[in-house]
Amino acid sequence: MSAADEIEIPTGACHMCLAIPGKVIEVAADDPTSALVDVVGMRRRVNLGLLEDDRPVPGDWVLIHVGFAMSKISEADALDQMRTLEILGECEAAVQEVRGLGLEEIEEKQAP
Amino acid sequence: MKYVDEFRDPELITKAAEEVRRLADPNRHYRLMEVCGGHTHAIYRFGLKDVLPANIELIHGPGCPVCVLPMGRIDDALSIATDSNVIFAAFGDMMRVPGTHGSPLEHKARGMDVRIVYSPTDAIKLAKMNPQKHVMFFAIGFETTAPSTALTLQRAKAEGLHNFSVFCNHVTIIPAIRAILDSPDMRLDGFIGPGHVSTVIGCRPYEWIARNERKPIVVCGFEPLDLLQSIVMLLTQLKKGEAEVENQYKRVVPWEGNRAALRAMAEIFELRPYFEWRGLGFISQSALRIREPYAEWDAEQRFNVPGIRVTDPKAAQCGEVLKGVLKPAQCKLFGRECTPENPVGALMVSSEGSCAAYYNYEHRKAALVTSLS
């Protein structure tokens, strides 16, 4: 619980309003609303429940708000969105958001 | 600072800026409201004002959920969490927002169990990890985050999670726009429509603005080029005397919105008869509460809520700033008693609040000016 006990206040943009692009890696076999998503070079579970009318498949890009995929977007738009986050100085905020509380199992890997 | 040469296409930016100057009638003063706090943040961050002609004035709208939340709601939620059995879970954005007796962070320093979560589902995990405690998630946001709270509540019910509840502060954007248009001291020429909210609600809910109020509205993305293109679209409509809803952010926003998200919201939430907005007062049918079948997971139904009302300090002019009647720096407290480090009003708390954005960025004259002139 150490991560949760010491509070680090995220800086920069309003987190709840951030839209972070991610690439769907794998949809859970036992739960179609749960996917492993590659987000800013890390992998975390993202909820796909709000896209049930148009379910993303591995390889699709999505925009994520507070841990939920909200829309499907093209790869080009996803990369643009990353650049926007960067220019807005929100990359750090996005990384914090993806790391979350340490409640998720995050796989970090080399950024592409 | 990173500016124009790192944008996707600096040439397109320059062209759009020229187009804005070409379309803007020098004999006219334009007042355009960007509804969304994310746009306010982006406008300051990009130094966009310096690219626009002086007769185009951007008015910062009510679309920052932290900024419009009355202090009494924070007091109410914190009063529930004074019970040592309760864990207060909220987004990091809420941690420094002042309540009457301090922010959630200050309450934590005094011993309250306060946790930051990044997703409402994290709050569910906290509840599972702390079965002997009750986790109350402080839900906040417009239609961008309300569907996530809705799915989280569905899951809590489906899993029979009994030590979890939501203190719901979700608000809806349309009544706020209506309140602003109804306000007698307000004169606007058009709206830069919110991007992410529109991902959920789509573009149809704005049609009355065009049809009844005869104001153009353009749903807009968050890149500098998006903002400039949206201003071009607004000016084009104004020039022709038209008032339409247009979607500049088609790459993300479908005209019909996200039906699955709307369904989830409709199942879980109903409209409150009225709700208080900081700076705007009470607005009817402008906020969401949790429906009866989910009462067990509604902190307001489950706990005793004092229903605290706090008026903003008289000297603070948050309401006027929020409605765009005053610029942030015209408030008597701006930069003196009220700073991002020691915010008096909520517009100074969130980085998307117009006062904090103005404070943080206005002094930095963006390189945009030099590179474009």
Residue with tokens 């207060």, as numbered in its chain: B88
**A53: nearest CB among B41, B145, B260:** B260
- Checking if the pLDDT of B40 tops 80, the result is yes
pLDDT (tens digit per residue) in A49-91:
999 999 999 999 999 999 999 999 999 989 888 887 877 777 7
Domain ranges of chain A: 2-101
Place of tokens 């509070």: A7
pLDDT recorded at residue A112: 42
Q: According to the model, what pLDDT value does residue A100 have?
A: 62
**Is A6 an interface residue toward B (CB < 8 Å)?**
no
Mean pLDDT of B130-142: 97
Stretch B123-139: mean pLDDT:
97
Residue B202 pLDDT > 90: yes
Q: What angle do CA B54, B229, A95 make, to 5 degrees?
A: 105
Which of B91, B93, B118 should be substituted to probe chain A, the one whose Cβ sees the most A Cβ atoms within 10 Å? B118
- Which A-chain residues 29-88 have CB contacts (< 8 A) with chain B? 47, 49-53, 63, 65-68, 70-71, 73-74, 77, 80, 83-84, 86-88
Helix (H, G, I), strand (E, B) or coil at B332: coil
Q: What pLDDT, in 10s, does the model give residues B310-357? A: 887 778 888 888 877 888 889 999 988 898 888 888 788 887 788 988
Burial of residue B369 (CB within 10 Å: 0-12, 13-18, 19+) is: middle
Q: Does B118 contact A15 at a Cβ distance shorter than 8 Å?
A: yes
Euclidean distance between CA atoms B80 and A53, whole angstroms:
38
Let me know if domain A2-101 sits in CATH 2.60.40.1260: no
Query: Between chain A and chain B, how many beta carbons pairs sit less than 8 Å apart?
Result: 155
- Position A5 scores a pLDDT of 43
The mean pLDDT of B18-27, rounded to a whole number, is: 96
Query: With 60 as the cut, is the pLDDT of residue A3 above it?
Result: no
B118 closest CB neighbour out of A7, A51, A101: A101
Q: Which of A101-110, B74-83, B114-123, B154-163 has the lowest mean pLDDT?
A: A101-110
Is the pLDDT assigned to residue A12 strictly greater than 70?
no
Domains and CATH numbers, chain B: 67-172+257-302 (3.40.50.11740)
The set of residues, in sequence order, having a beta carbon less than 8 Å from that of B4 and lying 6+ positions away, is B10, B13, B367, B368, B371, B372
Instruction: Give the Cβ contact number of residue B146 at 10 Å.
Output: 26
Q: Which of A76-80, B18-22, B358-362 has the lowest mean pLDDT?
A: B358-362
At residue B151 the predicted structure's pLDDT band, cuts being 50, 70 and 90, is: very high
Residues ≥6 apart with Cβ < 8 Å to B311 = none
